[in-house]
A and B are shown apart, each in its own frame.
Chain A
Amino acid sequence: MSEQQVSGIQKFMQGRGIRKLRRDRMAVVALWVIGGYLLIALSVAFGILSKEDVFDRVGPDNVVGFWGSQDGERRLDQAQFRIERIERAAKGSNPEAALANFRIGGVSAAPGTPDEVLARVASAWESFDAVAAHEELDDSPAVPPLFSELEQRVDRLFESPTGFEGFIQTMRMSLGTDRQGRSILFRALYSTKVAVQIGMVAALISVLIGTLLGAAAGYFGGWVDHLVVWLYSTFSSIPWIVLLMVLASMFRGGSMDGTLIPVYAAFCMSFWISPCRVVRGEVMKLKELEYVQAASAIGFGRTRILIKHVIPNTAHLMFINFSLLFIGAIKAEVILSFLGLGVKNEPSWGVMINQAKAEVLNGFFWQIGAATAFMVVLVLAFNVLSDALQDAFDPKHV
């Protein structure tokens, strides 16, 4: 980096806009929140969550989070799941090895010979039958003591991890499990990475393409301008959901199907338009200014003026658009994933909300709640940030 550029960045950081932004308390909080999300995304990207934590069963289906209560039927189902799992291990062809390797999430089987385990399983089944004999699980006064006995006997079958592993296990179950018994919290955390990745890539590429094309159109005018205007009128005249659907289906069956590339391509193609429009307008204004005329009077080439003197002055627009497009990408991801054209083979907030549709009808809100909460905080932070950016750098904007 040359000395001149460094001083440019310093100047920008000490400029009026940044000072205004720093004084906006909400914007600072929003920046911290976004930083937190980035940290989560980075740690997930560097493998803090194992594949098993995200993709494998860690417990029974639809367990509620730690401060929720569940109805009798579901408690019974979960007890049954736990007993059956350990019984299957103890009755297998090689019970010692099966019990030693037994694992659901972080929980392993309690020590003991297979016969001891089977005896405990039998007593758990006995207690299970006693509970199941009651028809009204939620209303009858006789049930709660039976339930606590059943759950004690079931707990005796397992050994919960302690120490750091125990903490991880608590975290794993803290927001419950989805319909396939996978940890909701860990999936939501993993989705943070996917969302940040999609937002970053889509917003960055769109802003870059948009700025370059817009600046070229505004600065050079003539046929370049006509071409760019035609291009963005064309792309903006296709409703973006239709464009996304067509593009996403374009990649179907190809070698890139299942990766995030179709999603990126679809987002970039529809998102570059708004930065392009704004930057074109701004550059048309800028090129009439005296400093540009001065630069050309000194004898600088047009391309050099454009890149070194005009584009840096549209940086604020790039920031504002980046922040707006980031929101757009995250929200569009949810919609695409719902339509089955978005993220595949890994969890994302959209995938989670889409899966939660059926759970909601059964009165289970943990998955949709977790995905929505994670998403709302991030999108809210970006909304606040874009407002603050707009106030700070573009006060005349409506």
Chain B
Amino acid sequence: MWTYVARKLLYNIPVYLGIILFLMLALRVNDPAYAFLGKNATATDLADIKAKLGLDQPFFYQYLEVLSFNFDVESWANEGLKVSEMLKRSIVPSLSITLPALTLTSIISITIAIISAYFRGRPVDRTLMVVAVVGMSVSFLVYIVFGQYWGAYLLTRDVGIDAFAIGGFEPGLKNWPYYCLLPVLISVIVSMGYDTRFYRSVMVEESGRDYITTAVAKGANKRKVMFVHMLKNAMIPIITRIMTTLPFLIMGSLLLEVYFNIPGMGRVLFKAIQEQDFPVIQSFVTIFAALFILSNILTDVLYALVDPRVRLS
């Protein structure tokens, strides 16, 4: 098992090196110091700001510097604020959207998929799938705009229930439903269309296999076959799917964070790109990529754990 994990890690090292190389080059196409300070910067200002970050060093040296995960550099736009500090502050808001959204989406869409597969070809199934396809065709942004309008604005103004905030964030479990529940629900609704369709086709595929026929022939009841035999075997694609939606969640939560003013990692990165805050952009991008690779490795490992048929050697 551990050799398998180690091998996966080793395999991903060149990939990560490549990502960092590419991102660093892309970020250096425009001179970051010049972009930040603007046209009126003097040569000494430019040299100063570059020297502080090591931008005047040879590229190879900078490459090693980034790979050493040194986040103690100072942000350009928010003077005196270190990147590590910004990171620390933004992790909790991000996770309080991402994790509940991922859990809820998976549970709800797997349930709907099972219902749909159970009634395959009948009106219930057809309706659910049509709803899923139409739901998929509406832009994420529209869901956010209307979600905020109805859930946070109209509900408070016309009904008088101040259940959800228009935006903002406060830490603490008590404040969670007020600030985060609405964004989480929107995120769930958006990703449900894709997930439900995918899980349904997994279930349908699985229900055509021989072991299901055997179980039914032996007289096991249909519900038991569905939930015990089939769900267990469908777990492999389901886990892969959940893990591959992680990047979508990073993106999704970025939009939600920007729109609902939640100070998570996505919003910090977005603001940094707007303000040309180079140290923050570079650090956050390296972190995002690292998280992504870790989730990939985790997928492979989980895959191997769930399905003994996956060879570890």
B contact set with A: CB distance below 8 Å = 12, 14-16, 18-19, 22-23, 26-27, 29-30, 35, 133-134, 136-142, 145-146, 149, 153, 198, 201-202, 205, 237, 247, 250-251, 254-255, 258, 269-270, 273-274, 276, 281, 285, 288-289, 292-293, 296
Contacts and interface: CB of A to CB of B under 8 A. Distances in A.
B220 to A, nearest CB: 25
7 contacts: A230-B18, A245-B269, A249-B281, A252-B30, A339-B255, A368-B145, A384-B133
Contact of A380 (B19, B137, B201, B205): B137
A237 B141 contact: no
B139 A334 contact: yes
Given A242-B288, A253-B35, A247 B26 contact: yes
A341 B153 CA distance: 28
B248 to A, nearest CB: 8
A123 B287 CA distance: 68
Interface of A: 230-231, 233-235, 237-242, 245-247, 249-250, 252-254, 331, 334-335, 338-341, 349-350, 353-354, 356-357, 360-361, 368, 372, 375-376, 379-380, 383-384, 387, 398
Nearest to A234: B18
B141 A379 contact: no
A241 B251 CA distance: 6
B85 to A, nearest CB: 21
Given A338-B255, A353-B145, A250 B285 contact: no
Contacts of A230: 14-15, 18
B153 A361 contact: yes
B285 A398 contact: no
Given A237-B289, A380-B134, A339 B270 contact: yes
Majority secondary structure, A binding face: helix
Interface centre among B137, B205, B247, B274 (most CB of A within 10 A): B137
A250 B15 contact: no
A398 B201 contact: yes
A372 B269 contact: no
B109 to A, nearest CB: 15
Most buried by B among A233, A238, A247, A387: A238
Contacts of B16: 237
Given A237-B289, A238-B289, A335-B255, A379 B15 contact: no
A264 to B, nearest CB: 15
A354 B141 contact: yes
Given A233-B15, A335-B140, A384-B133, A241 B146 contact: no
Contacts of B153: 361
A356 B270 contact: no
The residue in A239, A339, A350, A353 that gathers the most chain B C-beta atoms within 10 A of its C-beta is: A239
Contacts of B26: 246-247, 250
A241 B139 contact: no
Contacts of B142: 353, 368, 372
Contacts of A356: 145
Contacts of A372: 138-139, 142
A380 B250 contact: no
B141 A350 contact: yes
A209 B239 CA distance: 30
B19 A252 contact: no
Contact of A357 (B22, B145, B237, B296): B145
Contacts of A338: 141, 255
A146 B127 CA distance: 50
B121 to A, nearest CB: 14
A179 to B, nearest CB: 15
Given A246-B281, A339-B258, A398-B205, A376 B141 contact: no
A38 B7 CA distance: 49
Contacts of A254: 30
Contacts of B255: 335, 338-339
A361 B270 CA distance: 24
Contacts of A376: 134, 137-138
Nearest to B295: A237
A239 B149 contact: no
Contact of B269 (A242, A252, A368, A387): A242
Contact of A238 (B139, B198, B270, B288): B288
